[in-house]
Structure 1
Amino acid sequence: MARTFDIQLPHYPRGYHLITQEIISRLPRLPEHGLLLAFIKHTSAALTLNENADPDVRHDFTTFFDKIVPDGMTGFRHTLEGPDDMSAHIKASLLGASVMIPIKDYKLNLGTWQGIYLCEFRDGGDKRKISITIL
């Protein structure tokens, strides 16, 4: 039977933040086998799985995404909340709102170098809510 609950992350500044341990620390006892779905309930932030050992990954994420979708890009109309408004929405769409992770032996079955990232695309991003479903 599926279980769903929400967690709220504290405010994180703009950037790419490893939140694996923060997620794990808030999980109930996991089943022996199953799936965990984490879904962010926002349109200007994203979740992704990626390399968790080298901090240069975060720098390179920023370099890449800011190059392909810069803040204040010419032609954007949706700028009511500032120059990072529409660029944040596009970046969030590119990376996605959810990650699904297998559960094995009562633990998340992540690869050796995999971690869960919160990708915060707004300068003034607020606390973020994540819905967790365990299947």
Structure 2
Amino acid sequence: MVRSDLAGPEAVGRQALARLAVPTRGRDAVDLTAAVSEWLAAIGAADGLVTLFLRHTSASLTIQENTDPDVLADLFGLLDRFAPADRDYRHAMEGADDMPAHAKAVLTGVSLAVPVVGGRADLGTWQAIYLLEHRTRPHRREVTLHYLGR
């Protein structure tokens, strides 16, 4: 069923941009949901779309389960099987985890688009927005946030 009250010509009336600095501790999932929610509230978002874009090639963004930490642990395990660190990669400029991190970012992506309804990201009950750090050492990652709506 389509809810027509969520769209219309007046739905796209303004934009907002911000850059979120995200420190990582090395290979881990960093929950960005609260930071995105705080930013949407601060700009007075109503209904629209928030796009997140990660400005890096060895980390990624995903929407995943936010309740059972085993989901994220299993996800990292699967990514390790798809792109193991012990392969003989040509690109290893920054260490053995360099090319596997790039491959994992390709598999999971660097951008997300999330509907905003009533000023809140329209995530499901068990969903959260995560930055996945694929490198083993800590980094400072940057996520550009772009809101388009009313």
- TM-score, normalised to structure 2's length? 0.83
The reply to whether residue 40 of structure 1 matches residue 54 of structure 2 is yes
1:53 alignment partner AA: T
Residue 50 of structure 1 deviates from its aligned partner by 1.0
Larger radius of gyration: 2
The one of 80, 91, 103 aligned to 1:78 = 91
Q: Which has more helix, going by share of residues?
A: 2
Task: Give 2:27's aligned residue.
Answer: 14
Q: Deviations over 1:95-116 (max 9, x none)?
A: 0001111010111111111100
Q: Distance in 2 between matches of 1:65 and 1:103?
A: 30
**Count of aligned pairs between the two proteins:** 134
Please state how far the C-alpha of 1:10 moved relative to its aligned partner: 1.9
Structure 1 residue 20, shift from structure 2 partner: 1.1
Q: Amino acid of the residue matched to residue 46 of structure 2?
A: E
CA offset at residue 30 of structure 1? Answer: 3.8
1:119 aligns with 2:129: no
Which among 60, 71, 76 is matched to residue 62 of structure 1? 76
- Contact kept, 8 Å, 1:72 with 1:87, in 2: the verdict is no
The question of whether the paired residues in 2 share the 8 Å contact of 1:30 and 1:103 is answered with no
- 1:18 Cα deviation after fit: 2.1
Question: TM-score of the superposition, structure 1-length normalised?
Answer: 0.92
Unaligned runs of 5+ in 1: none
CA displacement 1:7-26 (0-9 Å, x = unmatched): 10123321223221133234
**Per-residue deviation, residues 37-85 of structure 1 (Å, max 9, x unmatched):** 01110000000001111110111011101111101312x1010100000
CA distance in 2, matches of 1:26, 1:44: 25
Q: Is the 8 A contact 1:51 1:114 kept in 2?
A: yes
Q: CA RMSD in A?
A: 1.4
Say which SS state the counterpart of residue 110 (structure 1) adopts. coil
**Partner amino acid, structure 1, of 2:141:** R
Could you tell me which of 58, 65, 68 is aligned with 1:51?
Answer: 65
